[in-house]
């Protein structure tokens, strides 16, 4: 997806990438698990962040090249044990898409709240997060 060592360590798999939708999955290896054999909370957090910020960045496409896109904050709730393959989903509403594109195209700063959810293979929600992304015009230097 991106050339970043952290992403190489977490090893997300892109399941779906579309018009304002991002679906990632991760099947934990031993280094991704906690002492109980569950996916470590830090990995769940990272995957939720990747889904939430990733959907914004991917939706902006070429407009993201001229923008500074960064996480402002993320509030995560762990709902159940994260065991086995976990799927992480984030989707932009039509209103969010309109706001993001308009702001990026005119170089206006914007913050956008995106929901990211995590489900196990049985469809049980294991975590959810509110991801606050900031998009600002890139400054030279």
110-138 pLDDT per residue, tens: 999 999 999 999 999 999 999 999 999 88
What mean pLDDT do residues 79-99 have?
Answer: 97
Which residues form the domain of 101?
5-137
* Beta-carbon contacts of residue 4 (< 8 Å; ≥ 6 apart): none
- The pLDDT score that the predictor gives to residue 1 is 44
DSSP string, 3-67: --HHHHHH--EEEEEETTEEEEEE---GGGB-TTSSBPHHHHHHHHHHHHHHHHHHHHGGGGGGE
Between these two residues, 3 and 137, which has the higher pLDDT value? 137
For residues 15 and 60, what is the distance between their CA atoms, to the nearest angstrom? 19
CB-CB neighbours of 134 under 10 Å = 17
Q: What is the CATH number of the domain that holds 20?
A: 3.10.129.10
12-25 pLDDT per residue, tens: 999 999 999 999 99
What mean pLDDT do residues 2-6 have?
Answer: 67
| Model pTM score | 0.92
Number of structural domains (the chain) is: 1
In the block, tokens 């509110």 appear at 130
Evaluated on CA atoms 96, 99, 104, 105, the torsion sign reads: positive
For residues 10 and 97, what is the distance between their CA atoms, to the nearest angstrom? 28
For residues 5 and 54, what is the distance between their CA atoms, to the nearest angstrom? 16
For residues 124 and 128, what is the distance between their CA atoms, to the nearest angstrom? 11
């Amino acid at each position: 997806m991106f050339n970043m060592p952290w992403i190489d360590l977490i090893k997300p798999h892109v399941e779906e990438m579309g018009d304002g939708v991002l679906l990632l999955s991760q099947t934990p290896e031993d280094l991704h698990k906690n002492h109980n054999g569950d996916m470590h909370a830090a990995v769940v957090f990272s995957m939720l962040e990747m889904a939430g910020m990733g959907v914004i960045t991917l939706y902006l496409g070429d407009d993201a090249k001229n923008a500074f896109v960064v996480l402002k904050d993320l509030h995560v709730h762990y709902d159940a044990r994260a065991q086995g393959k976990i799927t992480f989903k984030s989707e932009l509403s039509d209103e969010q898409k309109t706001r993001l594109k308009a702001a990026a195209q005119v170089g206006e700063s914007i913050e956008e709240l995106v929901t990211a959810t995590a489900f196990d293979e049985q469809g049980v929600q294991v975590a959810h997060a509110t991801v606050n992304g900031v998009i600002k015009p890139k400054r030279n230097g």
